[in-house]
Structure 1
Amino acid sequence: MDKNRVPTAHSTLADDAATKIAAQPSPGSAAQNRTHMATSRDRIAGFAAGFASGATKLFVGHPFDTVKIRCQVEGGHGRFKGPLDCLVSTVRQEGPRALYKGASIPLIGWAVMDAVQLGSLSNYRLLLQRNDKSHKLSHFEHGLAGLGAGWTVAMVATPVEMIKMRLQMQYAMGAERKYRGPIDVARYLTKRYGTFGVWHGLPATMSQRSFFFFLWGSYDVYSEWLRSLHGSSSFPYIVKAGSSNALENRPLPEKLINFLAGGMAANTFWTFCYPVDVVKNCYMTQGDDSPIPFRKMFKHVYRSEGISGFFRGFLPSFIRSFPTNASAIFVWESTVRLIKNDSKH
């Protein structure tokens, strides 16, 4: 206010009104802030979409998983010469349906596991964003959210995997079978290890699921890189934006990015975690007469087969991981967008 100006009642009222108006946030700004805040739909979308992701993962990946488990547990001197021999022998001796042995529990279990994993992942991301969806997380923070999701889902994954793997490792047919089905396995584990017998392998599962840090951290890295690329009319069909060969305004479709990034992230995850996965599976499927503790199973595998023992069955796992997880993450991201009614997630 001008020092020489003599205030009047009218000017004072006008100044007060102007001050109040200036102090009030604009309607547009408040609406924009509300748009960025997480809603209940944001919190449940990941859980709901996870069911669809889990069913996809089972259909695409279970045959690969059966071959992987059998190769891992049988070892280099077991009944199979390698992944291909395992596949051929299994189909020849037990029929094609044998590739889906133990699938009834994962059909429910993987749907629930993916719902828990991906739902908790979404909520850990929101927690790191402080419920502000406009806040961009770093690659490291995406990894932390993945780590939290891995530990959370371990509670569900342990009983599912304990039952699934024991059925997958059952070669006997008919009356010679040790387990008649999933419920029979659960009864046996409860009788052998107590009330929480189906969670007997929880520490091993949590160790393996810790590598979800690399899965979701690398997924963000690959997604960001793929978004920087544009389509091309000639090989290799994908080039850096700004290249003379790039098609103008033709970034890669978001769904294609989800698929490719999901597959590459899964390959990264298995490359890092595979030795721990071998030890976990050996620990969870070993005989129950004189079981080896999880921490000593690393030494047992090394003494039995050396370094190569930590990578038996790696090839089917690596091959399986791309189509299985690429499809599952594609379905999850697409379903999340559908639930949120967003064109972009």
Structure 2
Amino acid sequence: MSSDPAPKPLPFHYQFIAGAIAGISEILTMYPLDVVKTRAQLSTGTQKVGIVSSLKQIVQSEGVPALYRGILPPIMVEAPKRATKFATNEQYTAMYKKMFGVEKMTQSLAILTGVSAGITEAFLIVPFELVKIRMQDKANYGKYNGTIDTLTKIIRHEGPLALFNGLEATVWRHAAWNGGYFGVIFGVRDVLPKAETKEGQLLINFTAGAIGGTVGTALNTPFDVVKTRIQGYNGTGPRKYNWTLPSVALVAKEEGALALYKGFLPKVLRLGPGGGILLVVFETVSNFIRKNIMKD
């Protein structure tokens, strides 16, 4: 592990900007896989459809724009969401170091700061996630005409509090993902040799972020499945899924434990490389700010 001093911390507003740019870069690159993931998680049947087949079916039956249906809510929230992820992680790091009286980061501290950042992030994104899920659901095809229409109809027919359906599940999902993501990033960077070149550092960042994204996805997919089911409920008929842990148990009982990993492949294909993209862009923008904007 390198003994070089840590990079100079950025002020919160610069962390926010770097996180926002990183988040938008990731979502523009990987979004179609999120549509496939949502469709798989909403399916309660046993039939399995491959990623390529699912993409082909969506394009053939609904057109290419369907691969980006519901992208506006994530784009609207992506900047504050990813900015919150990285900026609050940095803020929690400083807070916990002071609280526990330690100077150097440890893996357990990295996990704790990640979980804390994930919980903070979850409260911000719930309404946007709910609108996105409703728009991505094939069963709602033709029901909603864009983001504003979806938002308006949810509020009109289900009440404004419906926008926060799935909050508890979202907290579980983001706490698990962020804890795994930042904890693994610390561990991978700790064991890899120090990069000698700029390209080598980019490779280390992408590797650490991609492994972190993969582990985070493995940890949080069951919570993501039930979050999708909870937010997919549109107020018609009895509510089947409500609280997270009972819903996890119900899905496992009725559909088998593997059903808790529905949509895992498209999700991990998005958030594995996506986690690498996030970290590379965040670190690149942060270093640019340090060198060109925060000159001593």
Q: What TM-score results when the alignment is normalised by the length of structure 2?
A: 0.86
Alignment of 1:150-165 (within 5 A): 150-165=118-133
Alignment of 1:135-154 (within 5 A): 135-154=103-122
- Cα distance in 2 for partners of 1:268, 1:196 equals 33
3-state SS in 2 of match to 1:210: helix
Contact 1:193 1:200 (C-alpha < 8 Å) held by counterparts = no
1:291 to 224, 239, 242: 239
The structure carrying a bigger helix percent of its residues is 2
Deviations 1:76-115 (A, max 9, x none): 446x633332111011111222111101111121122111
- Cα distance in 1 for partners of 2:169, 2:157 equals 18
Query: What residue number does 1:16 align with?
Result: none
Matched, 1:204 2:169: yes
- Cα distance in 2 for partners of 1:260, 1:90 equals 31
Cα 1:250–1:56 change in 2 (3 A) is: closer
Matched, 1:219 2:185: yes
2:33 to 64, 75, 86: 64
Return the index of the structure with the highest Cα Rg.
1
Cα 1:316–1:36 change in 2 (3 A) is: closer
Cα 1:77–1:287 change in 2 (3 A) is: farther
3-state SS in 1 of match to 2:28: helix
How many residues are matched?
282
User: 5+ unaligned residues in a row in structure 1: which ranges?
Assistant: 1-34, 231-248
Matched, 1:74 2:43: yes
Q: What TM-score results when the alignment is normalised by the length of structure 1?
A: 0.75
Contact 1:49 1:332 (C-alpha < 8 Å) held by counterparts = yes
Query: What residue number does 1:93 align with?
Result: 61
3-state SS in 2 of match to 1:196: helix
- Cα distance in 2 for partners of 1:172, 1:120 equals 35
Deviations 1:41-91 (A, max 9, x none): 43332211011011112111211100111011113446x633332111011
> Which amino acid letter does the alignment assign opposite residue 266 of structure 2?
P
- Cα distance in 1 for partners of 2:206, 2:157 equals 42
Alignment of 1:301-316 (within 5 A): 301-316=251-266
Matched, 1:326 2:295: no
Q: How much is the aligned-residue C-alpha RMSD, in angstroms?
A: 2.6
Q: Which runs of 4+ in 1 moved over 6 A?
A: 35-39, 249-252
3-state SS in 1 of match to 2:192: helix
- Cα distance in 2 for partners of 1:165, 1:265 equals 25
Contact 1:109 1:160 (C-alpha < 8 Å) held by counterparts = yes
User: 5+ unaligned residues in a row in structure 2: which ranges?
Assistant: none
